[in-house]
Structure 1
Amino acid sequence: MKNLSKEIIGRIQEISRPVKIMHVCGSHEHTIMQHGLRTLLPKEVQVVAGPGCPVCCVPAREIDECLQLAEKGVTITTFGDMLRVPGSDSSLQQAREDGADVRIVYGVNNAVEIAQKTDNDVVFMAAGFETTAPTTASELLAGPPENFSILSCHRLIPPALEFLIESGEVNLNALIEPGHVSTIIGTHPYVPFSEKYGIPQVIAGFNPLDILMAVYMILRQIKEGKAEVQNEYKRAVKDEGNIKAQQALEDVFEITSREWRGFPQIPESVYEVRKEFSDFDARKKYDIQVKEVKEAPTGCICGPILRGVARPEECTLFKKECNPLNPIGACMVSKEGTCHIAYRYSSL
């Protein structure tokens, strides 16, 4: 493996040229930082992190929606990482400490089991990209109990990428696409970015060789004057993706527009529950109304970090007031968050 990595790095150096590559995967960022891959690449080859952490991307509004439900006595179930993600003025962790019934689950099936064992209303805060959304859809298709519903916070990666490309804020030249998401959606949703914008793309796995190979494949495309979608992660990703999972998503969800943390409203970027399943849609069931929202704590630059225009080390709170034990911003909460990863592996 060591000899192979040296060979790939040598090939990268041979065809190196100025390029800014964005990835959108917390696991990719973890691999890059843990193994110091940025230090192995030529300085002119930049690899920046985009909105690849599903927990970090949940905006304050959706945390506030859950807090509103908790105040009404509804049992809130969600992943452990979501508890400390900041809302406008509080978090689910704070609500829990104040007596709200907020429970950590490992998946939507655990939330359904809780609903089956209690008379209280149970809401699952369904966060995640296309990777986890099919499990939520499957539970609704299976017919959960009447006292169960979901607050859909599921998001789609391709619309966010198009937003970033169109904005020009990052000035990205190429994309390393996420492996987990791509196992569900396949390769086809990325094709328009190459055809319309001339952007080389590579779907990559998660070990260091995968990332280095993806960088090399991108540079090779640029050298050859190509812009296409290549699949480095063929051992897991098929061109067509997971057809069964895609059908479940289509059956249960409709795609609509909503803001992400650090982003304005992104067109066609979130999964909302179809009216056929409205009995299990917490927003409709409880008529949730959140008006004024304060997005980021003072001094936090989580938004620019999620958009790939800043690094955690540029934040004045990083490793000081903001750390994993006391996360000020969402990017420090999850192990997939860029700030959390940088805290663990950055030399600063």
Structure 2
Amino acid sequence: MTDPAPVQDVARLGATDVGAVLALLRAATAADGVRPLSEDAELRLQHGGPAGGRDVLARAADGALAGYGRFEGGDGTGDAEAELVVAPPHRRQGIGRALLTRMEQLAGDRPLRVWAHGDLPGATELAARRGYDRARVLLQMRRDLAGVDPEPRPALPDDVSIRPFRPGRDEPAWLRVNARAFATHPEQGTWSAEDLRLRQAEPWFDPAGFFLAWRGDPDAGGTLLGSHWTKVHPPGDEGPEAIGEIYVLGIDPDAQGIGLGRALTDVGLAHLRAAGLSAVLLYVEADNTAAVALYERTGFTRHAVDVSWRRVP
């Protein structure tokens, strides 16, 4: 068996190493047809993250970057989380094993969750061999936009209107509703103002594709009821062609039952179609059978799977 690769972990990588990791991620995406890290992990790689996080590098014998992992320790309680990727030329050489071993050491006596994007055979083999169990399964679903109404006229109560997001003004209201809409979601419901700011600074951010449903005038005491934030992935990000995404669709629990989800969905899909895109994707928990069935009835089909593997020491 190949000796484990040298592994180093730091609280924050320098610019040169960040560039090398981003190049590795592009190579892995091209080889596997799926992005190897989540958006959160990529943002923390580039901008840093909360205390307790570590960037983990594995190097080949010649010093070349052979693998990368992102460890999140949180506040030191509950599950630790990790993601990792091995450069395509260096696979089957013990590098994934070395990265995972270091993640387990960082987690200590806490359970560790490791995301495997694309549910690739190599990741499944490594996780099973190390005693991990499937804890969560996230589906990526897609549909074409050809049948989308380009000019939807959603039926809304007279005092409700849909308007684009206004940077510098709507952040507090959106964060409040996002937390309420995703109160039970392990990632989305905990977004902070910094999490939002980082995404607003990304090249893909477009407030014209970020739709808010208000009751009343937002500048005169109006109440935010829900939102649909769309995203456009450039070619090479999620496939050879650009593709849209239902990025965040959330309704305040007090505003359920008045058709806002369908109205906001229709408006967002029309926006993506008008941008010249031919398809759209979304992510949904596989065990949310009601949501999966709803999306399937509206033309979405299953495209890819992400798995969160969990191990208790």
TM-score normalized by structure 2? 0.25
- TM-score of the superposition, structure 1-length normalised? 0.23
- Whichever structure has more strand as a proportion of its residues is 2
Q: Which structure: greater helix fraction?
A: 1
